[in-house]
Amino acid sequence: MTLWVARRIASLTGDLAMYLCFLIVLTSLAKIARPEGTLPRPVAGLWMLLIMLSALWHDIKVPWDNTFDMAKMGAGGGLIGASLDWFLRVALGRFGAIALILMGMWSGFSMLVNKPVHTPLSVLWFLWLTGWRKVQGFFANLFRPQGPAEEDIEYEALESLAGQADDIVGDPSYEDGQMSSFSATVSQIQERLSSMDKAEEPVYEETAASETGEETFTPLSMEQRPLSEELFYELPPLSILDKPQPRKRMHHSQLLQEKAKIIEKTLYSFGVTAKVVEVARGPAATRFELQPGPGVKVSSIVNLSQDLALALAAQDVRIEAPIPGKSAVGIEVPNKDISIVHIREVLESKPFRSSPSPLTVALGKDISGRPVVTTLEKCVHLLIAGATGAGKSVCINSIITSILFKARPDQVKLLLIDPKRVELSAWSQVPHLIAPVVTDPKKASSALRWAIKEMESRYEQFTKVGTRDVDRYNEIATPPGSIKPALPYIVIIIDELSDLMMVAPAEVEDSIFRLAQMARAAGIHLVVATQRPSVDVITGTIKANIPSRIAFAVSSQTDSRTILDMGGAEKLLGRGDMLFFPVGAVKPLRAQGSYISEREIDEMVSFISSQAKPQFVQGVLSVSESTAQAPQIQDDPLFSQALRIVIEAKQASVSLLQRRLPIGYSRAARLIDAMELKGYIGPYEGSKPREVKITMGEYLRLFESQGESENLQPEPGNGSGQPNGSHRQ
């Protein structure tokens, strides 16, 4: 019996039978040690090495003519090596088979030493995807009977339509006289095949307005590159980022004890008994946890914030009453020196490394020094606001950096909108971009409209498959091993919302409203930032649909309430000090934002762009002149009157038309847009007034020639030659 088992093992791997026995014992011990776990990576690497080595050994030792006969006798690589060698040589030839075997051995060795195997595994996977169809077609033709009438028909192409021909041939009523109908059916099938071949290579044209006035739209799924092109992409290593300088060890314990005594004495002098039970020193502030005495109201401690700041000689004191999850009151006292939190510290933390989501973002460290890591799926959408220089742009750069360290270009796509033209231009070469960095507010409106159409297109695909969100759709429509690319996440980042709201407030607000309401399940997430946290920029509609907020230092409590619906941001220190208020949280979390320098951004972009270049989606930034608003604006009965008011005032603004004409903001803004579209006034230039490019003489000739001079006639009771409402009341 033992001899029979030995012979069978020898026939499996031939000359390598000893190694097979060793691996069987090793695998058994591994499964005993981890009965419910997966096979250890080094053991799997040994198995891969053995299989590939047996195929290579058999190819070298045994002649091709009697390969299986020798394998049965235990020569060469045995039956395993002979089978693999025969299969690869038939499919790829001898040189191709040897090359693939060597790459497999390299991958097995890499798995054995437990090192990254990006390059060899990528090559193997690429060859598998590209060669599988050819191998499948080879074996289909090998075992399929060839008929004289079918020699010129590609079996693989007809496979999807073979059911129609089988129904015709298998019909009992089929007679010779019906051969013409069958020939017609075959011709129809061939026509459909030719149309399918053309459909496999879509031709993209420049997006323009169609004859019906509607904009053409190409879904992102049709613009996706083949999966094989993304397999060679390597995520950037952490070594690109600078190592944080070791902080000097300073003995703060005595100083913190003195401050704790000052807090207790100050409260006692006002009749409040409390005891400091714990102290946590963070990067920007130190939190003293107070335990109030019996009968002490929390409000009595909160009302003494200014007195505590005076006693501690601090810039300001923020009181968190109570601390969520604790029966204590937190008194946050600013540190004299704010410690910089380098983004590498947060990226190296366990919460970030263990997160499987490609939308994981490293925000910074909280007041206790713990890393603050979240995902955009949990945040749904994110609103960032604060005064100039408080750290908004650095926070956005940290969010983009976190995504690039987690996601390949086929997993996450970025749409960057930067009306300020300076903050996001550094990311213009990363392959994750859908379109170039948008700096024109008009094109930004078009990009948001494209995002809405992409969202609607995705929901149509979800309906066909019967799913609700993008994750479930990718599991069903693009299972592992599928050549079809999965739908990527889309992150839309707007660096300055106020500039967009000045140019096209109604359109931008409507687009953000629709995306914020519906885009989460489609895998589209918004990150909106502004330095003007006022109600005309962060409107109630926008704030109600963006549940997660980050507030940096602001100048007043009113601005803090606009962002967070509560005070507290006015007491922040700036330079990255922030309040993070995620969806579902009871109170905001104070944290110090992570910092990344411009040099680190340049090095990371250089590393990523050297592997792949951005391939922009057609039509994202196309601004159609035949939108639904254009004819309505041109036909506005007040257009000529509004234009005359602008010419007489020698400047154009929405507020000017609101004062002179009995109209609201939206209509006045549409009239200004129409004048700019016609070329009568110049574009928006920030605080400068718009340039008026038409003179009064040109105006009179233009509108009299169009038969619109009746709009210039004075109304009864208005003795001037101006339109009614054009004079100051």
Segment 63-100, tens digit of pLDDT: 766 666 666 666 666 777 777 777 777 777 777 777 87
For residue 470, which amino acid is it? V
> Domain 253-334 classified CATH 3.30.980.40?
yes
Do residues 301 and 329 lie in contact, with contact meaning Cβ atoms separated by under 8 Å?
yes
Looking up tokens 């934002």, which residue turns up? Answer: 593
What integer pLDDT is reported at residue 15 of this predicted model?
67
pLDDT tens-place string over residues 493-548: 999 898 888 877 778 888 898 899 889 999 999 999 998 888 888 888 888 889 99
Q: What's the pLDDT score for residue 640?
A: 86
- Tell me: domain 341-609, CATH 3.40.50.1820, correct? no
Residue with more model confidence, 116 or 337 = 337
Q: Are 551 and 578 in contact (CB under 8 A)?
A: yes
Interatomic CA distance for residues 654 and 645, integer angstroms: 12
CB 68 within 8 A of CB 82: yes
* Confidence band for 371, pLDDT divided at 50, 70 and 90: very high
Closest C-alpha among 102, 87, 85 to residue 49: 102
Is 367 in a helix, a strand, or coil?
A: coil
Q: Report the C-alpha gap between 71 and 12 in whole angstroms.
A: 8
Mean of the per-residue pLDDT values for the chain?
Answer: 76
Say what the pLDDT of residue 126 is: 46
Residue 9: the pLDDT is 63
Of 90-94, 169-173, 306-310, the range with the lowest mean pLDDT is 169-173
CATH topology agreement for domains 253-334 and 629-712? no
The pLDDT of residue 709 is above 60: no
Q: 263, 271 in Cβ contact below 8 A? A: no
**629-712 CATH pick, 3.40.309.10, 3.40.50.920, 1.10.10.10, 3.50.50.60:** 1.10.10.10
Which of the four pLDDT bands, split at 50, 70 and 90, describes residue 166? very low
Helix (H, G, I), strand (E, B) or coil at 681: strand
Helices 41-61 and 17-33: angle between axes, nearest 10 degrees: 170
Q: Where is average pLDDT lowest: 116-130, 165-179, 272-286?
A: 165-179
> According to DSSP H, which parts of 114-178 are helical?
118-142, 155-158, 162-169
348/350 Cα distance (integer angstroms): 7
pLDDT in tens, 577-594: 999 999 988 889 999 999
Strand order in the sheet with 274-281: 274-281, 285-292, 329-334, 318-320
**Total residues belonging to the chain:** 729
Name the 3-class secondary structure at 330: strand
- Quote the tokens at residue 499: 């500039």
Residue 152 corresponds to which tokens in the numbers above? 């010129």
Lowest mean pLDDT among 220-234, 275-289, 395-409: 220-234
Domain ranges within the chain, ordered by starting residue:
2-140, 253-334, 341-609, 629-712
Local confidence band at 489 (pLDDT 50, 70, 90 cut-offs) = very high
Note the pLDDT of residue 628. 36
Beta bridge partners of 524: 490
Provide the token pair at 36: 């419910």
Say if pTM beats, i.e. exceeds, 0.85.
no
